[in-house]
Amino acid sequence: MTKGFFNMPIRAAVSSVLLLSCTCGLSAQSISLEKQTLANPDNEPAPVFPVPSQRQILWNETEFYAFFHYGMNTYTDLEWGNGDEDESLFQPTEVPDPRQWLEAVKAAGMKGGIAVVKHHDGFCLWPTATTTHNITKAGNEPGRATNIPRDFAAAARDLGLKYGFYVSPWDRNSAYYGDGTNRYVNDVFLKQCQELAEYGSDQFEMWFDGANGGSGYYGGANEPRVVDHDTYYNIPNLRDKIHGIAPDCVMWGVGDEARWIGNEAGWAGETCWSYGSGTSGDENAWKWKAGESDAKATLSGWFWHRDDDMRSLDQLWKFYLETVGRNATLILNIPPNRTGKLPETYVTRLREFGERLNQRLGTDLAPAARISASATRKAGLNRNYEASNMTDGDKDSYWATDDGDKDASIILEWDDPVNLHYIALQEYIRKGQRVKDFTVETSENGIDWTPRATNVQTTTVGYKRIIPLNGSTEEYGPGYNVKAVRITINDAKDSPLIHTVSAY
Ligand code: FUL
């Protein structure tokens, strides 16, 4: 069957128009316009730099994951071992059970976890070839049968969770650490990271703590050793080697692909850029480095201690809203005890947290609303930028305005009033973080509007922003019965690109 001009595919039709325009002698200007259209047939907005890499985007999508501090310190009751602990002190009463850890955090709504496999004391929780200071010399059979990276990776895959490992760059056991040669970096640290990467090419993050150098055992030298943490670890080489094995593994902290949020207290700045440093980042920084907040679900240590206890649900909820809700990820620590399991009371609190998460943020009411925007970017051949893209459940479709159009409102309207507590926004960060200022209002009748969360800095959005309509990350309150919500973007680096709006 032959196809005429009017029923040929659009792409072919545009090419024909171009051909016709050339042959029919149209002006140079109209030809160049046609060329522009062909160069960007989907009318996609240009990126606003910096932009994240694919692995950084995947990492951001993990949002909320666990940290498990377990190791020699669990048995010596320390937070920082000196590195001279006898291996025989490691004596779990049962073979540690990472599956139990991960099942518990999955029930809390977490999407993955990072296991500490070597802390600053240098004791390795796998049979490494790099040092004898490892589980093969543990004091009992369950200790010698321990292999955290192997069992953690297997359980995570089985449970559909993301996983990764914390391997401390600072090693207070190694004689070579900071000895003036490269031996520790090349023969110990790099090799350990490579061994760990081999436990799974699908791992999502390797965690490198910033604590560097100081006093320690160092093979018996018992002296302070100081290194320049910016240069000592040969990070570019480490990154390349690990990415060669585990391409989606974000090298956190010292690795420079994601940043520490600047505190261990479970909060990010209300203004939070995915570049720069600290709680708020820096609007003008040049390199993508989104924030991760490491916080303890328990009251005292990172490691298990007999008298420690879990934080309250309200405290954990506040952490969640002030990190995941502020364009950071949350890595929440829950320490296994001497049996190599999470204590039952911790498991219970985690389950309760999952129930709360589900109850408060589990049902998005936005897809049931009519959604419209005051301005919408002209559609391209295969892509449109309609407001409905924000509630279609597809993170790759997004709403946008025309280039340079930095202020616009989005309105959600329901036929019958809905009870709302939170509004969440997500930018299409693949093309950069853009929004700089926005406001949220609600309306009971669709005509009169009341500003909400006016005490909150509604500045940045980024990967995800959750705005409590009552302005509180502590009080849940009765919510607001509304027929409409209006989100007005007042300023952005360029055309705002939003892929999802949610209402809870
Ligand atoms: C810190 C370490 O020194 C702590 O022991 C813990 O591992 C925490 C997550 O990072 O900097």
Question: How far lies 411's CA from each of 50, 387, 447, in Å?
Answer: 29, 9, 12
Note the pLDDT tens digit of each residue in 391-413. 999 999 999 999 999 999 999 99
Among 303, 379, 314, 380, residue whose Cα is nearest residue 40: 380
Say how many Å lie between the CA of residue 203 and the centre of ligand 1. Answer: 21
Could you report the per-residue pLDDT of 463-490, keeping only the tens digit for each? Answer: 999 999 999 999 999 999 999 999 999 9
Q: Which atom of ligand 1 is nearest to the CA of 116?
A: 7
What percent of the chain is predicted at pLDDT more than 70?
93
pTM strictly above 0.75: yes
Query: What is the rounded CA–CA span in Å between residue 283 and residue 429?
Result: 14
> Do 366-503 and 54-361 fall under one CATH topology?
no
Tell me: pLDDT of 24 over 90: no
Beta strands 112-118 and 422-427, pairing class? unpaired
405 CA distance to ligand 1 centroid (A)?
Answer: 44
Say if residue 5's pLDDT is above 70: no
The token pair that represents 102 in the structure block:
């991960």
Instruction: Read off the pLDDT of residues 359-379 as tens digits, 9 standing for 90 and up.
Output: 999 999 999 999 999 999 999
Do the beta carbons of residue 407 and residue 454 sit within 8 Å? no
Give the pLDDT confidence score for residue 11 in this predicted structure: 39
State the sign of the Cα–Cα–Cα–Cα dihedral 12, 18, 24, 26: positive
CA-wise closest residue to 356 among 328, 314, 325: 314
The CA 209 to ligand 1 mean position distance, Å, reads: 6
Q: Is the pLDDT of residue 335 over 70?
A: yes
Calculate the average pLDDT of the chain. 93
> In the structure, what pLDDT confidence band is assigned to residue 229 with cuts at 50, 70 and 90?
confident
Question: Does residue 4 surpass a pLDDT of 70?
Answer: no
209 lines ligand 1 (CB under 6 A): yes
Residue 17 CA to ligand 1 centre (angstroms)? 63
CA distance 310 to 346: 6
Does the beta carbon of 302 sit less than 6 angstroms from any atom of ligand 1? yes
For the chain, report the end-to-end CA distance as a whole number of angstroms.
52
Residue extents of the structural domains in the chain: 54-361, 366-503
Exposure of 322 by Cβ count < 10 A (0-12 exposed, 13-18 middle, 19+ buried)?
buried
Decide if pLDDT at 10 tops 80: no
Residue nearest to ligand 1 atom 3, measured at CA? 211
Q: Is 260 in the pocket of ligand 1 (CB under 6 A)?
A: no
Residue nearest to ligand 1 atom 10, measured at CA: 209
Q: Do residues 98 and 148 make contact, with C-beta atoms less than 8 angstroms apart?
A: yes
Q: pLDDT-based confidence at 37, cuts 50/70/90?
A: low
Residue 359: Cβ-neighbour burial (10 angstroms; 0-12, 13-18, 19+)? exposed
Pocket test residue of 215, 302, 332 for ligand 1, highest count of atoms within 8 A of CB = 302
Measured between alpha carbons, how far is 482 from 443 in angstroms, rounded to an integer?
6
Q: Is the CB of 211 under 6 A from ligand 1?
A: yes
E-assigned strand segments in 256-390: 259-260, 291-296, 328-333, 370-373
The CATH number of domain 54-361 is 3.20.20.80: yes
Q: Is 294 in the pocket of ligand 1 (CB under 6 A)?
A: yes
399-400 and 435-443 strand pairing: unpaired
Atom of ligand 1 nearest to the CA of 302: 6
Contacts of 8-15 spanning 24+ positions with Cβ under 8 A: 10/381, 11/41, 11/381, 14/38, 14/41, 14/381
The topology under which CATH files domain 366-503 is: Jelly Rolls (2.60.120)
